[in-house]
Amino acid sequence: MTNIIFRRRRLPHQDVEGHPLFITACLEGSLSASGLSGIRTYREEIESRPRPEKMTPLNWEHHKRKLLFAFVDNLLDGHSPVTHLEDEQQATIVQNAFLHFANERYRLLAFVVMPSHHHWLFLPDEDWSIAAVKKANATGAKQKTPREIISHSIQSYTAVMCNRIRGKTGPYWQHETFDHWARNEAETMRIIAYIENNPVRAGLVAYAENYHRSSARIRVQLGLKPGNAIPKVA
In the chain, the amino acid numbered 225 is K
Contact 231, 103 (CB under 8 A): yes
Q: Residue 108's closest CA among 168, 180, 21? A: 21
Encode the chain (234 residues) as per-residue pLDDT tens digits.
344 343 444 445 566 777 899 999 999 988 777 777 787 888 889 888 999 988 888 888 878 877 887 887 777 776 778 999 999 999 999 999 999 999 999 999 999 999 999 999 999 999 998 888 888 777 766 678 888 899 999 999 999 999 999 999 999 998 888 888 888 999 999 999 999 999 999 999 999 999 999 999 999 999 999 899 999 875
Q: How many CA atoms lie within 13 A of 168 on its CB side?
A: 11
The answer to whether the beta carbons of residues 217 and 210 sit under 8 Å apart is yes
Domain ranges of the chain: 11-28+84-222
**Other CB atoms within 10 A of residue 209 CB:** 16
- Rounded-to-integer distance, Cα 109 and Cα 87, Å: 24
Cα–Cα distance between 166 and 152 in angstroms, integer? 21
Fold of 11-28+84-222: Alpha-Beta Plaits (3.30.70)
H or E stretch at 18: none
pTM for the whole structure: 0.82
